[in-house]
Amino acid sequence: MTRPKILLVFLMRFEEAARMLQGIVQHERSHRQWATFLDDEARAMSDPDFLRGEKWSGVISRHTTPALVKGCAKLGIPLVDLNDTPPFPGVPKIRPNNHAIGHLGAEHFLERGFRHFAFCGFGNEGWSCERRDGFVEALRLAGQGCDVLDVEYPGIITPDWNASQSRIIGSWLRRLPRPCAIMACVDVRAFQVIAAAQQAGLKVPEEFALLGVNNDVVRCELSDPPLSSVALNAHQSGYHAAEVLDHLLRGRAPEAMDVRIDPVGVVTRLSTDILAVGDRNVSTALNYIREHACKGLSVEEVVTHTAASRSQLEKKFRRFIGRSPQAEIRRVQLARAKELLTETDLPLKSIAGLTGFEHIEYLSVVFKRMTGESPGQYRKRTRTKPH
C-alpha cells in the first residue's frame, strides 16, 4: 500500500517551527504511515506550481495564505492550518490560546508584587489584541489597571520603522510609573522595548520588568538583559495538526475547526527576575528560592540567607505573597518540572535530579498532590491533546 504523501510548509528560521515539527514527528512515530516532504522555505504559500508538482495527499502549513488555501481546494488536498490568523472557511486551524497567554503574563507579574502594569503591542494584529485583552482582564480581576501602547505593525521591520518605534516607546516609558511590569505581544516587540529603554537611559529590570511571548530561546538568551518569555506549546500544536490531518485522510471530520492550545508557562530570565515586594527579607528570600530551589533547598537554608527568624519569615511570606516559604520552594520546583516534562524527552529520574528531588517517588507524590495528576499523565496530556 502506498503511503500518503504529506507536504509540510514551514519557514525554519522560526524556532517554533522546529518544535511543531517535533510534535508531528511524535505523531508519526506511533503511526508510521506518511511519506513527508518539508518545504522549509515555505515556497508553497505563494507558488502554485509547487503544489502541482507532486500528487500531495495532505498539507500542514505554518504559513497559510489565501493562495495556498485556494490551491489546495482546487486540487482537493486536505489542509491543516497552524498560522495564528483568522480561520479560512472550511480549513481546520490550530493556534495558540492568546487570551490564556495574556492571563499567564499578568499572573507572572502579580506574583512578583508589581502594582503598575503596561502592555506594548500591535493594534492591527488579532493575536496581539487577544494577548492584550487577556493581560488587561487578568489585571482587572486582581483590582489593577494597565497602560497600553498599541501601534500598527507594517508587516516588515525596516531600520526606519525600528528607529521610529524607539522614539515612540522611549517617550511612553518616561511617562509610566516605576517600577512597572510590561508585557510585550511577542519577543520581537520586547526587544524593541529593551532597546528604547537603553537609549532613554532607563533600566531593565530595575525600573521596567519586561516579558515577551514565544520563547525564541537563542534570541531571548542573546538579549541584554536576557528576556523572560511565555513559552507556547508548539510541540502540542504540531502533534494535534498531524492528528487532525490523519482524521481528514480517513474521511473523518475534525472535532473542532478552530482549536486553541494553552501555553506551557513563563520561562524566567533576567528581564523579569526582580520582585516588587515591599519587604527586604521577603524579596531576598524569594530571589534565593528562585536561584536555588531546583538544586535542593530547605527552609532553614532560606532563613539563614535572609538573616531573619523562621517565624518572622513565615509571617511575612503569608502577608506579602499568601503562601509559606516551603510552598514557594515547591511551586518553583513544580514549574520547572512541568517545563521539562512538556519540552523534553528526559526520563523522570533526570527531571527529579534537575528539580531538586532526591527520589523519583517523592517528585511523583508532590506533583500529584499539587496538580491532581502524575508526571506521566501531565506529559501525555500536554504533548498529545489540546486543552
User: Residues 88, 89, 90, 93: what is their CA dihedral angle, to the nearest 10 degrees?
Assistant: 30
- What CATH number does the domain located at 280-384 have? 1.10.10.60
In the prediction, which pLDDT does 50 show? Answer: 87
In the predicted model, is pLDDT for residue 385 greater than 60?
no
**Residue ranges of domains in the chain:** 5-97+234-264, 99-230+266-272, 280-384
The answer to whether the Cα torsion of 119, 122, 127, 129 is positive or negative is positive
State the average pLDDT over residues 258-266: 94
Q: With bands split at pLDDT 50, 70 and 90, how would you rate the model's confidence at 315? A: very high
pLDDT in tens, 165-174: 999 999 999 9
| Dihedral over alpha carbons 270, 273, 274, 280 (to 10 degrees) | -120
Q: So what's the pLDDT on residue 335?
A: 85
Q: Which residue has the higher pLDDT, 84 or 112?
A: 84
- Who's near 351: CB < 8 A, 6+ residues apart? 337, 340, 341, 363, 375
- Out of 3.40.50.2300, 3.30.1600.10, 3.20.20.10, 3.40.50.920, the CATH code matching 5-97+234-264 is 3.40.50.2300
What 3-state class would DSSP assign to 213?
strand
Range from 198-207, 273-282, 345-354 carrying the lowest mean pLDDT = 273-282
Percent of the chain clearing pLDDT 90 (strictly above) = 69
| pLDDT > 90? residue 195 | yes
Indicate if the pLDDT at residue 95 is higher than 90: yes
CA dihedral 377, 380, 381, 386 (to 10 degrees): -170
pLDDT attached to residue 275 = 66
The predicted model gives 329-335 an average pLDDT of 90
Mean pLDDT value across residues 240-253: 94
**How is residue 326 annotated by DSSP?**
H
Task: Inform me whether the pLDDT recorded for 48 exceeds 80.
Answer: no
| pLDDT given at position 103 | 97
Q: What is the pLDDT of residues 140-152, one digit of tens each?
A: 999 999 999 999 9
- pLDDT at position 279 over 80: no
**pLDDT score, position 52:** 87
Across the chain, what does the average pLDDT equal? Answer: 91
Instruction: Give ∠ CA 350-355-358 in degrees, rounded to 5.
Output: 70
Q: Is the pLDDT confidence value at 387 over 50?
A: no
Domains 5-97+234-264 and 99-230+266-272 in one fold: yes
Q: Which residues pair with 151 in a beta bridge?
A: 122
Residue 4 CA to residue 56 CA, distance in Å, equals: 8
pLDDT > 90? residue 132 = yes
| pLDDT score of 166 | 94
B/e letters for 115-124, b = 16+ CB within 10 Å, e = fewer, are ebbbbbbbee
**The model's pTM:** 0.76
Task: Give me 283's grid cell.
Answer: 524579596
- pLDDT for position 376: 92
* CB under 8 A, 24+ apart: contacts of 280-284: 281/306, 281/307, 281/308, 281/312, 281/313, 281/316, 282/313, 282/316, 282/317, 282/320, 282/321
Q: Which of 51-55, 97-101, 217-221, 377-381 has the highest mean pLDDT?
A: 97-101
Closest to 121 (Cα-Cα) out of 156, 103, 143, 147: 147
CATH fold, domain 99-230+266-272, is Rossmann fold (3.40.50)
Q: Assess whether pLDDT exceeds 80 at residue 180.
A: yes
